[in-house]
Amino acid sequence: MIYNAPTKDMLFLLTEWLGIERLSALPGYEEVDTDIIEAVLEEAGKFCTTELLTINRDGDEHGAVHEDGKVRTPPGFKQAYQQFIENGWTTIDANPDHGGQGLPKVLQNQIDEMLGATNLSFKLYAELSHAAYHLLDSTASDDIRDLYLPKMVEGTWSGTMCLTEPHCGTDLGLLNTKAVPNDDGSYAITGSKIFITSGDHDLTENILHLVIARIDGAPEGSRGISLFLVPKYIVNDDGSVGDWNKVVTSSIEHKMGIKGSATCALNFDGARGLLIGEENRGLAAMFKMMNTERLTVGIQGLGFADIAYQNALAYAHDRLQSKAPGERPAGGKAADPIIYQPEMQRQLLTIRSQVEGARALAAFAGLHVDIMERSADPEAAADAGQTVALLTPVVKAFLSDLGLASTVSAQGIYGGHGYVREHGMEQLVRDCRITQIYEGTNEVQALDLVARKLTGKTGEFADRFLAQWQEVLGGHSANEELAFVTGPATAALERLVETTAWLRGQLETDRAIAHGAAYQYLHQFALTIIACLWADIVAGIADKQGAFYDAKRKVARFYMQQVLPETTALAAKIRDGADALAEFGVADFGD
């Protein structure tokens, strides 16, 4: 497979469209400039292409192996991980107090896209550590941060998130894992967790498990959940690694994809755990980590879509089949490259226009994460936090859906060759599928958007968010040269506002109807907001010339004419199709 890191597009989004000045104005980012961002993106692209893409297939073929109670990563992973930490990729957005570089999170997002595109199995060993680090940095006591976090930033210790139990998935209030106080202030953690990404491996000298459990006497349900740090090996007061901590890997899952990633079942048998944050407030703390991961998972889907597009495009240039009906290449051969077939162009442009738009959405969300965490203006920080909360389920669900749809479409461009092992497309399809499932299925994300983000105070913000985009588009309405993007985007936004009001009414009168339309609404929302972003991008480059900017305008036009019309059908399904769903009861499905 091939991969050309989209550094030029990423650099454009961060420095031209969003504006480098918006980053450098934030406290702690004063030294961030275009040169730094470009250098980091270039080096990340090189590492991902030369080190990670080359071992991706080996990871799939050999997989992670569980033997004698230990997990062994696939060939090449240990060497690549050592290079990963030596190059400083575990330090990008970490706190300088712990050895991090303190760079913007929106830059980390761009690196995450490259990592996910080239080797998601490998990425997952570091990804959960990244999220665990930020949870501990924001929630743990000073002594825990000082003792544990430098090793995590260094990359010699890793982290996990232990939520799911055999009987307990989305409804975490059903968990059975117990925490019993010890005399020294720690807790004895006993219980079983499943589907633990990177739960065990041979890449780091210690693994720090963040485990939710219920302390004896705690309230039932989600109100009685606490969070604990449970290392695989006890950490001594001087920071050295001590005795084994009664954490057993009972098995690893044999999966459809991401086979190089160890997905473990863990048993905790009185393991020593340290309380993180307050008793019975563990779920609120853990949701910080989960929301970080949800944005990252969406970006994984974006990476899959992009690498699938790149390889399908290369194949379409090489594959000779039939004569093109219109423009033909010079030379008069018996068959032309399939890139000259209009249907192949339509499929490729459908992927590309959505990839570039989705990358803009991810960058927009990432910038607001930085503003939320760094801004000295409390009002700006709060507003950015609401933007992030609104967009998190959209980024997670829509971008991961886009990843699978794009890999399947790109696979089809290969014809039969896409179905066989040789070209790697079938692995992309298998590996990408999990992004729609873990960190909360996309159906759950849609319910979060509709049932939580459209009601109460968050619902008021959603209305303001849409109104702000109406104002942005209205500001460009007098420019006829922009009408090809602002006109369709404005019409789609009006449809979205109408659908939002209708759906909010259903939440008050018949929640089942609203829930039944949630998934379609999320897609209408995402497609519309991406159209607004495309319009804003095109407006920003109105006076710029050159092949890069000309291509942006052409891709934006394609999106408006060939992708955005889906929102009309979605709006009709949501409003006009509600009765058809409501009248079909459970009994109508049969036994």
For the record, the structure tokens of 19 come out as 């504006």
Query: What SS3 state is found at 520?
Result: helix
Q: In Å, how far are 298, 439, 447 from 429, measured between CA atoms?
A: 15, 19, 26
Does this chain's domain 7-142 share its CATH topology with 158-284? no
- Span between the terminal Cα atoms of the chain, in Å: 46
Give the other-Cβ count within 10 Å of 98's Cβ: 20
For the record, the structure tokens of 297 come out as 């998972």
What residue segments make up the domains of the chain, in order of their start?
A: 7-142, 158-284, 442-582
Query: Taking a C-beta distance cutoff of 8 angstroms, is the pair 207, 156 a contact?
Result: no
| Homologous superfamily, domain 7-142 | Acyl-CoA dehydrogenase/oxidase, N-terminal domain (1.10.540.10)
235 DSSP β-pair partners: 241
Burial of 567 by CB count in 10 Å (0-12 exposed, 13-18 middle, 19+ buried)? Answer: buried
Q: Which residues contact 374 (CB under 8 A, 6 or more apart)?
A: 26, 27, 28, 29, 381
Query: Taking a C-beta distance cutoff of 8 angstroms, is the pair 54, 60 a contact?
Result: no
Q: Which helix (H) or strand (E) holds 530?
A: helix 518-540
The catalytic residue positions are 439
Beta strands in 121-232 (DSSP E): 157-162, 178-181, 187-197, 206-215, 226-231
pTM over 0.75: yes
Phi, psi at 450, each rounded to 5°? -80, -50
What is the DSSP secondary-structure string of 261-305? S-EEEEEEEEEEEEEESSTT-HHHHHHHHHHHHHHHHHHHHHHHH
The per-residue pLDDT for 222 is 81
Long-range (24+ apart) CB contacts under 8 A made by 307-310 are 307/1, 307/3, 307/117, 307/118, 307/428, 308/351, 308/406, 308/407, 308/409, 308/410, 308/411, 308/425, 308/428, 309/348, 309/351, 309/352, 309/355, 309/406, 309/410, 310/2, 310/3, 310/4
Q: How far apart are CA 72 and CA 260, in angstroms?
A: 10
Distance of CA 417 to the CA centre of its chain: 29
Gyration radius (Cα) of the chain, Å: 24
What is the DSSP secondary-structure string of 216-235? TTPPSGGGG-EEEEEESEEE
The per-residue pLDDT for 357 is 98
Encoded amino acid at 120, one letter: L
Phi, psi at 352, each rounded to 5°? -60, -45
Give the other-Cβ count within 10 Å of 137's Cβ: 18
The per-residue pLDDT for 289 is 80
Q: Which residues contact 373 (CB under 8 A, 6 or more apart)?
A: 105, 381
What is the mean pLDDT for each group of 10 consecutive residues in the chain (591 residues)?
A: 98 97 97 98 98 98 94 98 98 97 98 98 96 95 97 98 82 83 97 96 98 92 92 96 97 97 97 96 84 94 98 97 89 89 97 98 98 97 97 98 98 97 96 96 97 94 98 95 98 98 95 96 98 98 97 98 98 92 89 77
Output the furthest CA–CA distance in the chain (Å, rounded). 85
Query: Taking a C-beta distance cutoff of 8 angstroms, is the pair 276, 227 a contact?
Result: yes
Closest by CA position to 222, among listed 172, 269, 185, 177: 172
For the record, the structure tokens of 201 come out as 């491996």
Q: How far apart are CA 393 and CA 558, in angstroms?
A: 26
Q: How far apart are CA 36 and CA 30, in angstroms?
A: 12
> Taking CA 336 as the corner, what is the angle to CA 333 and CA 338, rounded to the nearest 5 degrees?
170
Query: Taking a C-beta distance cutoff of 8 angstroms, is the pair 395, 365 a contact?
Result: yes
DSSP 407: H
* Multiple choice CATH, 158-284, 3.10.20.600, 2.40.110.20, 3.40.1640.10, 3.50.30.40: 2.40.110.20
Query: Taking a C-beta distance cutoff of 8 angstroms, is the pair 226, 148 a contact?
Result: no
Phi, psi at 196, each rounded to 5°? -90, 105
For the record, the structure tokens of 363 come out as 């960058």
Q: In Å, how far are 229, 256, 292 from 277, measured between CA atoms?
A: 10, 37, 18
**Strand duo 206-215 + 178-181: pairing:** parallel
